[in-house]
Amino acid sequence: MSYYFQVIESPLDWELLLKTFNDPDVYYTREYGSLFAKMENGQLRAAFYKDELSKIFYPFIKRKVDWAGEEIYDIVTPYGYGGPLLEGREESIESFYYCFTDYCIENKIITETIRFHPVIRNYEVCKNIMDVDYIRKTTAVDLTAPLDQIKKQYSSMTRRNIKKAQNAGLFCYLADNTPKNIGLFIDMYKETMDRNKADSYFYFSEEYFIQQMKKSNKSETFLLFAQSGSEVIAGVMVMNGPKYSHYHLGASKTSGLHLKPNNLLFDYMIEFCKSKGASLLHLGGGYQENDGLFKFKSSFSNANHLDYYVGKKVYDEKRYCKIVDEVRRSYNVNETYFPIYRAKKELLADSPT
For residue range 184-225, list pLDDT tens digits in order: 999 999 999 999 888 888 899 999 999 999 988 888 999 999
- C-alpha pair distances (Å), 106 with each of 65, 102, 232, 315: 16, 6, 52, 10
How far is it, in rounded angstroms, from Cα 234 to Cα 251?
Answer: 6
pLDDT (mean) for 306-317: 97
Please give the class, per CATH, of domain 139-306.
Answer: alpha beta
> Is the bond preceding residue 339 a cis peptide, omega within 30 degrees?
yes
Task: List CB contacts of 194: < 8 A, sequence separation 6 or more.
Answer: none
- Look at residues 18, 22, 49 and name the one whose alpha carbon lies nearest to residue 32: 18
pLDDT band at 348 (very low <50, low <70, confident <90, very high): very low
Average pLDDT of span 263-274: 98
Give the side-chain half-sphere CA count within 13 A for 128: 9
Superfamily of domain 3-136+309-342 in CATH is Gcn5-related N-acetyltransferase (GNAT) (3.40.630.30)
Average pLDDT for 306-335: 90
Other Cβ atoms within 10 Å of 110 Cβ, number: 25
Averaged confidence pLDDT in the chain: 93
Closest CA to 203 of 348, 340, 33, 39: 39
Domains 3-136+309-342 and 139-306 share a fold: yes
Average pLDDT over residues 252-281: 97
Share of the chain above pLDDT 70, in %: 97
How confident is the model at residue 335, as a pLDDT?
80
**Ranges assigned E (strand) in 188-323:** 220-228, 231-240, 244-252, 280-284, 305-314
Name 264's Cβ contacts closer than 8 Å, sequence gap at least 6: 161, 162, 165, 166, 170, 171, 172, 226
d(CA 353, CA 335) in angstroms, rounded, equals 26
Taking the model in full, what pTM does it have? 0.93
346 — pLDDT class (breaks 50, 70, 90): very low
Give the separation between CA 5 and CA 199, rounded to whole angstroms: 38
Give domain limits for the chain: 3-136+309-342, 139-306
pLDDT at position 73 = 97
Q: How far is CA 89 from CA 14, 165, 243, in A?
A: 22, 49, 22
Task: Report the alpha-carbon distance of residue 163 to residue 188 in Å, rounded.
Answer: 23
pLDDT of residue 352 exceeding 60, the answer is no
pLDDT in tens, 174-185: 999 999 999 999
Please, what is the Cα angle at 177 between 172 and 181, to 5 degrees?
65
pLDDT digit string, tens, across residues 48-99: 999 999 999 999 999 999 887 889 999 999 999 999 999 999 999 999 999 9
Q: What percent of the chain has pLDDT over 90?
A: 83
| Lowest mean pLDDT segment, chosen from 3-12, 90-99, 320-329 | 320-329
Pairwise pLDDT comparison (327 vs 270), residue with the higher score: 270
pLDDT at 351 exceeding the cut of 80: no
Q: What is the pLDDT of residue 347?
A: 39
Sign of CA dihedral 15, 207, 71, 115: negative
Q: Is the pLDDT of residue 344 over 60?
A: no
Least confident of 34-43, 157-166, 299-308, 334-343: 334-343
pLDDT tens, 11-56? Answer: 999 999 999 999 899 999 999 999 999 989 999 999 999 999 999 9
CA angle 342-344-345, nearest 5°?
A: 65
Q: Is it the case that residue 329 has pLDDT exceeding 90?
A: no
| Chain CA centroid to CA 251, Å | 17
Q: What are phi and psi of 333, to 5 degrees?
A: -105, 160
Task: Tell me the C-alpha distance between 280 and 275, whole Å.
Answer: 11
